[in-house]
Amino acid sequence: METCVFAVFEFISGLVESRQLRDLLPPILPTLTLHLISHMQPTHSQVERWLGDVAQFVDEEEQIFSYSVRLSAHDLLEAMWEEPSLRNHTHSAITAAVEKHLQTTRSNSSPNAWKIEEACMLALGCVIMTPNTSFSAQQFTESVVMSTLQSPSGNPLLLGRSLWLAGKMAGRLKPGTLDQLLQSLVTALLPTQHSVLRVLAAKATCNFCSELQATNCTSRLLPILPSLISLLAAMTADLPDIVLLVVIDTLQLVTRVDESVTARHALQLSEVALSLFLKHSHDPGLSSSLEDLFSVLANNPGCHADFHRSFLPSAVQLLESNETGISLGLLPAVLDVLVLLVRGCGLGNVPNEVVREIFPRVVRVGVASDDVAMLQNAGECVRAFVSMAMEDLVQWCDREGESGVLYVVRLAVHLLDPSRPESSAAFIGRLLIVFFKKVGGMLGDHLQLLLRSVLSKMQSVKTASVMQSLLLVYAYLLQTELEAVVSFLCQVPDPRGQPALNYVLKEWTSQHPFFFGSFETRLSTVALCQLLSHCVTTGNNLLCSVVVEEEEDNGCGLGVQTRAQKTAAGVTRKTAIPLPVKIVRLLVSDLQSHLEASAESEGSECSAEEEGNEEVREMESLLTSEDGESEEFDKDPELHGDPLLQMDLQAHLVKYLGDICQLPSFSSSIRPHLRPYELVTLHSAGIHTN
């Protein structure tokens, strides 16, 4: 029977996804929705299983390892609502179906009548009932939700689902009704309540927080916030991992509501987080959620004292253990939390004891390890220290008189050791860039040591992302100390005994089109601009004499081609071209990508305005965001306010290439090498090449 139901649901799902066939659905949606809600009722065996084992309930609720007719009906209902052309019809159908089902249950004295009520609430939670529909959140809450919560013998599943739905409607409820619900929420979290009710109350808490935050009404939570934090923190004791994840996610959301309230519970939260961290660091999901909780504590100044007092002694002890007798993955996880702790202190506010006790131990652990996760996380932790406390590192010395600067150099050289796994240097580019920014000319001979180490690592690396990280070091320094870096690379031999300048520039120009990350691609592009300017304005023989190889274009100026097109066109030979020509070609290619992205964005905007299609608007937002730039900001605070990320790169390229094209050397030595489609790109940007 279930197989038949699944097949029917899959067929209807196919209709929803089909542009040609989905118009068949609106006439049957009222009846279809009525049946879907009926199938969303929990079965007798499900209820017994859930009430007997809360982990089973969370497993099926979160669709982690289980799937059922109930979940399949839920997913289909959600899919119909998410389809813009069906959304209004689905709204109306759900409202009508819920009303009809509830009328039936009111006249039904069956002990299982609560199941259809729970299914109706689950169905309403699938969608967002907008104000322009006939559904009234306030009226439904008063007539159904409140009466359910006031029932002395209500089923825990129904009571919890009532709170869960109320949380989703919290932003549209009257203050008095909302206050009553919040008090019911606190009651549902008490240790004396059934575990299923407590878990659903935790999920409801997430809904209340999200809804009230979206409507700027989080002040309504303040009276119960201390109780929520205390009850959720106490709830973390002896829970199955799958349930614990729900509670931790809720706790970290609640602790973001008000910093002052959270600060008053800092000691309890720090001890709970540390205890769970030491016990569950091997679990990626729990470890990630706990890091979110640590992030809340680290970024709340009122929590710093208790958080540091709780975490630092354990961190010191674990770093001293040198991976002996501790669970796999614990030390890398400790380093991740230390990154949060250090960055949370703020620029120049890292306590002396953290610099004195933690920093040297992090470096020693990193230098003593060959584990990739340890090496990467140690590098990221040291980068946090360099970013937030470089002045303290310059002044700090160990008992042998070695400064923090030397410690950073030692770890960087270790990460760049060719005998270490190549992934150990995956993030070395950003570490060294921020290090160079902070210490500048203080490095002395250490700069050459680092550059030699980068060059040595490049020769053993095969992974493109690692090569990108290494090349970025030279790209950054060529912006700030171009002549010194060029001189250094001319004195150091490459693997074939030739000056390393040719080797580095060939690798850079060949890898540049494949760079990823908004910061990295911008840094490489701007550095190439500066390098080209130096070539064409000074006529530097060392640079202008560099030749790089690229595939010869026999494709009649077709531009970017597939492998099949290249084979058919006979693109099998390589030709050597001067470095300035190669750089111009790369910059023109970058400009073409920006022009195409802008055109697609404008086209999407017009389509969205003409069709009112929400999917098109979502695509537009993806097109206009550069390589996940906002996510990059979150992961790398150093990038906030960086001039590279504030720059309009398309406008910069248009102006820069326009200026280059006016130079006499362009017409004589660069333009003859440009392909027809490259000239077309320049002309389309309003750049004259004659």
pLDDT, tens digit, 9 for 90 and up, residues 158-171: 999 999 999 999 98
- Band (pLDDT 50/70/90 cuts) for residue 609 is low
Q: What is the mean pLDDT of residues 378-395?
A: 95
Region of poorest pLDDT, from 371-375, 376-380, 601-605: 601-605
557: left (phi over 0), alpha (psi -120 to 50) or beta: left
Report the pLDDT value the prediction gives residue 31, as an integer from 0 to 100: 94
CA dist 158 → 7, 107, 147, 197 (Å): 29, 18, 12, 9
pLDDT at 629 over 70: no
Report the pLDDT value the prediction gives residue 559, as an integer from 0 to 100: 52
Quick one: what percent of the chain has pLDDT higher than 90?
Answer: 61
Find, among 383, 362, 374, the residue nearest to 421 by Cα: 374
Per DSSP, the chain holds a count of helices (H) and strands (E) of: 38, 2
Mean pLDDT score across all residues of the chain: 87
- Band (pLDDT 50/70/90 cuts) for residue 627 is very low
pLDDT at 176 over 60: yes
Report the pLDDT value the prediction gives residue 481, as an integer from 0 to 100: 87
pLDDT at 646 over 90: no
User: Residue with structure tokens 């004589």?
Assistant: 668
CA distance 127 to 93: 12
pLDDT at 608 over 70: no
Report the pLDDT value the prediction gives residue 480, as an integer from 0 to 100: 84
Q: How far is CA 10 from the centre of its chain?
A: 32
Report the pLDDT value the prediction gives residue 603, as an integer from 0 to 100: 65
CA distance 348 to 346: 6
Which residue has better confidence, 224 or 153? 224
pTM, two decimal places: 0.86
DSSP label at 403? B
Q: How far is CA 109 from the centre of its chain?
A: 50
Give the tokens for residue 603: 């086209």
Q: What is the mean pLDDT of residues 328-353?
A: 92
Find, among 385, 332, 331, 336, the residue nearest to 358 by Cα: 385
Report the pLDDT value the prediction gives residue 22, as an integer from 0 to 100: 87
Q: What is the mean pLDDT of residues 510-519?
A: 91
578 bridge partner residues: 547
Q: What angle do CA 207, 133, 63 make, to 5 degrees?
A: 40
Residues in the chain: 690
Region of poorest pLDDT, from 146-160, 165-179, 244-258, 595-609: 595-609
Give the tokens for residue 570: 């006979």
User: Residue with structure tokens 């720090």?
Assistant: 270
CA distance 584 to 535: 12
Say whether 137 sits in a helix, a strand or coil: helix
Give the tokens for residue 489: 């690379």
Report the pLDDT value the prediction gives residue 425, as an integer from 0 to 100: 94
CA distance 173 to 406: 60
Q: Give per-residue pLDDT as tens, 307-320.
A: 999 999 999 999 98
Q: Give per-residue pLDDT as tens, 423-441.
A: 999 999 999 999 999 987 7
Q: Give per-residue pLDDT as tens, 562-601.
A: 445 545 555 457 788 899 999 999 999 999 999 998 888 7
Q: Give per-residue pLDDT as tens, 25-72.
A: 999 999 999 999 999 999 999 999 999 999 999 988 887 666 788 989
Say whether 499 sits in a helix, a strand or coil: strand
Report the pLDDT value the prediction gives residue 667, as an integer from 0 to 100: 85
CA distance 234 to 226: 12
Q: What are the φ/ψ torsions at residue 250 (nearest 5 degrees)?
A: -65, -45
DSSP label at 218? G
Say whether 397 sits in a helix, a strand or coil: strand
CA distance 344 to 326: 27
Report the pLDDT value the prediction gives residue 322, as an integer from 0 to 100: 63
CA distance 202 to 222: 17
Say whether 70 sits in a helix, a strand or coil: helix
Find, among 594, 597, 685, the residue nearest to 648 by Cα: 594
Report the pLDDT value the prediction gives residue 554, as an integer from 0 to 100: 55
CA distance 39 to 679: 63
Sign of the torsion angle spanned by Cα atoms 662, 665, 667, 672 = negative
DSSP secondary structure of 274-340: HHHHHHHTT-HHHHHHHHHHHHHHHT-GGGHHHHHHHHHHHHHHHHHHTTTTS-TTHHHHHHHHHHH
Report the pLDDT value the prediction gives residue 568, as an integer from 0 to 100: 54
- Band (pLDDT 50/70/90 cuts) for residue 622 is very low
Q: Give per-residue pLDDT as tens, 455-499.
A: 999 999 999 999 999 999 999 998 888 888 888 998 888 777 888
Find, among 348, 262, 331, the residue nearest to 299 by Cα: 262
Find, among 409, 513, 498, the residue nearest to 459 by Cα: 498
Q: What is the mean pLDDT of residues 498-514?
A: 92
Sign of the torsion angle spanned by Cα atoms 27, 29, 32, 35 = negative
150 burial level (CB within 10 Å; 0-12, 13-18, 19+): exposed
CA distance 506 to 270: 51
pLDDT at 260 over 60: yes
Quick one: what percent of the chain has pLDDT higher than 70?
Answer: 89
Determine what percent of the chain falls in helix, strand and coil, rounding each to the nearest 5.
Answer: 75, 0, 25
Maximum average pLDDT range among 61-75, 182-196, 279-293, 595-609:
182-196
- Band (pLDDT 50/70/90 cuts) for residue 633 is very low
Find, among 543, 623, 634, 527, the residue nearest to 581 by Cα: 543
Furthest-apart CA pair in the chain: how many Å?
A: 94
pLDDT at 616 over 60: no
Report the pLDDT value the prediction gives residue 335, as an integer from 0 to 100: 95
CA dist 347 → 21, 255, 335, 508 (Å): 58, 24, 19, 33
